[in-house]
Structure formats: C-alpha cells, structure tokens
Amino acid sequence: MTKLLVVATGNPGKLREMQAYLSDSGWELTLKPENLHIEETGDTFAANACLKASQVAKATGNWAIADDSGLQVDALNGAPGVYSARYGKTDAERIARLLRELGDEVHRQAQFVCAVAIARPDGAIALQSEGVCSGEILHAPRGHGGFGYDPIFYVPEKQMTFAEMTPELKRTISHRGKAFAALLPKLPNLEVTDC
C-alpha cells in the first residue's frame, strides 16, 4: 500500500531530490498546495522543519515532510544559518555577500546542516533527524553543478566543492543525504493507520 506524504515545498526540484532518498520507502510524495504559505519563524533548522511539516500536515490532513537546511560559517558566528536562503536575492548575490563578509579570514571552517521532520495528519511531529557535512569556504567559486553555496563549499576529504561533485556523490556525503540516511531506518516503525 502506497502512503501519501506531502512535501512542505513548492519546489519540484526539492520534491525530486526527496523522492530519490525515499524511493524504496513505500511513500508517494506530492507537493504542498500552491496557496499554502508558511513563514519560517524558527531560530534553528529543526524548529523550522517541524513548523513546516506540522502546518502542512494540519492544512492538508495528510502526513507531511519538511526539511530546513543552511550553511553555518564558524568565523561568522554561525551565519548565515537559518537565513542562508535570505542572504541575497540570487545564488550569486548570496555567495558574493558571504565572501565579502569573510574577507581575508584564514579560518574558513563551515558546515552545511539539514534537519528533516515528518508530521502526522494532526500536526504532531512523528520523526526528526539531522545531518551535518563539514567543510570550508573557498575564496572563489569552483564547479558548475549544484545550487546555492555549492561552488564555494569545499569538502577536504573529497578535495572538491559540492558544485564539482556528481549528484550521486553529493547525495551520499551531503548534510541532506546524512539526514535522510538517519531517517530511513525509522520510517517502517511509523504507525500509519490513517492513510
């Protein structure tokens, strides 16, 4: 029996990415209604993921999944953090602002963090997980793949930026990949009686 899981996003790309992680889980993913807008008011990635999953679940009466992720740069006291997507209007602007704020800083350690939450149809949070990928910020972009901060996020053990990796490699080592890897073993334990 296929179970429906509403993804708390209007982004078809994010839906495809989540479907790839959950391909063998028995869940069928669908986008949230277009007119349903949720303000991300949490001060952590986990709080935002829970908020989005809970509100979408209550609004649709279905199980819902949400993630929230972003980049934390140590030398910037964890910025841009939960404001990663709002750090500029475009990816290029966000990257330029981050590089400008870091300047000639020698210590460029950073991590991508992803929190995932699944909510029951009544809005109660049933599952949560978090994944972290550590790396450092380059002085200039490298690579043409990915999106967001990927061209300046360098992973030392792979000697590549996220933007230089194949989608398959990025999926296995990324913060989102780790968050879903932690979530997958728990999915079969959900008591889904009302789907």
Q: What is residue 195's predicted lDDT score, i.e. its pLDDT?
A: 39
Residue 122: both structure tokens together: 């009544």
In a domain, 194, yes or no: no
In a domain, 61, yes or no: yes
In a domain, 86, yes or no: yes
In a domain, 163, yes or no: yes
Q: What is residue 147's predicted lDDT score, i.e. its pLDDT?
A: 87
* Residue 68 a catalytic site member: yes
In a domain, 11, yes or no: yes
Q: What is residue 140's predicted lDDT score, i.e. its pLDDT?
A: 96
Show Cβ contacts of residue 153 under 8 Å, excluding neighbours closer than 6 positions: 71, 110, 112, 135, 136, 137, 138, 161, 162, 163
Catalytic residue among 24, 43, 68, 104: 68
In a domain, 195, yes or no: no
Show Cβ contacts of residue 92 under 8 Å, excluding neighbours closer than 6 positions: none
In a domain, 150, yes or no: yes
Q: What is the pLDDT along the chain (195 residues), one digit of tens a residue?
A: 568 899 998 888 788 888 888 888 888 899 999 899 898 899 999 999 999 999 999 999 999 999 999 999 999 999 999 999 999 999 999 999 999 999 999 999 999 999 999 999 999 999 999 999 999 999 999 999 888 999 999 999 999 999 999 988 998 999 999 999 999 999 888 876 543
Range of the domain at 160: 3-189
* CATH for 97: 3.90.950.10
- The phi, psi pair for 5, rounded to 5°, reads -130, 115
